[in-house]
Amino acid sequence: MSERNRSLVVAIDGPAGAGKTTLARGLAAALGMPYLNTGAMYRSLAAEALRRGGDPDDGPALAGLARSMRFSMEGDPASLRVEGKPPSDDLATAEVEAVVSTVAGHPEVRAVLRAEQRRLGVGGAVVEGRDIGTVVFPDADLKIFLEADPEERAARRQAERRQGDPALAEALERRDARDARTNPLVPAVDARVVDSTGRDAEDVMAEVLNLVPWREA
């Protein structure tokens, strides 16, 4: 990380399919900052619970499992590691999609993972999630709330995952409904709202780079 960006936090929040991951990853690379994907932490916990035959409705047990997991930031530029390894591709399966919003809905689970997110991001990072600018880093130096029309979000999510998988499509629908109950997806009062509808990733990135106050001209 460059000296200039030390300890700065950029929060990227918004609903599924708005383009958060592409933006957050690109922004981190452009600014020379670490990148923290908090959705991957909830997904890793859900995947580990599934592997162990755990109950997605048992909040206290899941919180205990979350406490036993080792999250870190490694690499150059730094990004999330789970048990020392980059988050794996099996975090986007229909099985994980079907339970992750239930897992993420338990207050005990959120308390554990939010504390971990603060620890991982405190040295400065672009942090992607749903509650970053509102709860995890309310003092973030820049808050972006990325949104897009529902039709476009649905189309993007299908395109980035296995095309035409009915089980996955159904799981995504149910997940969205539960996600909205856990995180109301209201932008922080000081967030800049960016709409990605009908725009490519470069165009969105250019707009957001212009909102970074400490960026060199």
- At CA 136, angle to CA 41 and CA 131, rounded to 5? 75
Helix/strand/coil for 157: helix
Instruction: State residue 209 phi and psi, 5-degree precision.
Output: -60, -35
> Which residue stretch of 4-12, 124-132, 166-174, 192-200 sits at the interface with ligand DC (rule: CB under 6 A)?
124-132
Pick one of 26, 39, 56, 187: the residue that binds ligand DC (CB under 6 A). 39
Site for ligand DC contains 131 (CB under 6 A): yes
Residue 38 vs 196, nearer CB to ligand DC: 38
Site for ligand DC contains 11 (CB under 6 A): no
Counting residues that bind ligand DC (by CB under 6 A) gives 15
Name the pairing type of β-strands 71-74 and 79-82. Answer: antiparallel
Pick one of 44, 79, 101, 196: the residue that binds ligand DC (CB under 6 A). 101
Site for ligand DC contains 130 (CB under 6 A): yes
Residue 92 CB, shortest distance to ligand DC, in Å, is 8
| Neighbour-count burial of 166, counting CB atoms closer than 10 A to its CB (0-12 exposed, 13-18 middle, 19+ buried) | exposed
Gap between the Cα atoms of 10 and 27, Å rounded: 9
> Which residue stretch of 2-10, 38-46, 148-156, 190-198 sits at the interface with ligand DC (rule: CB under 6 A)?
38-46
| Among 133, 107, 104, 103, residue whose Cα is nearest residue 121 | 133
Pick one of 10, 11, 16, 109: the residue that binds ligand DC (CB under 6 A). 16
For residues 77, 80, 118 and 110, what is the CA-based torsion angle, rounded to 10 degrees?
160
Preceding omega of 77 cis (within 30 degrees of 0): yes
Instruction: State residue 73 phi and psi, 5-degree precision.
Output: -115, 120
Pick one of 18, 104, 120, 188: the residue that binds ligand DC (CB under 6 A). 104
Site for ligand DC contains 158 (CB under 6 A): no
Question: According to CB under 6 A, which residues from 173 to 212 bind ligand DC?
Answer: 175, 179, 182-183
- Binding stretches for ligand DC (CB under 6 A): 16, 38-39, 42-43, 100-101, 104, 129-131, 175, 179, 182-183
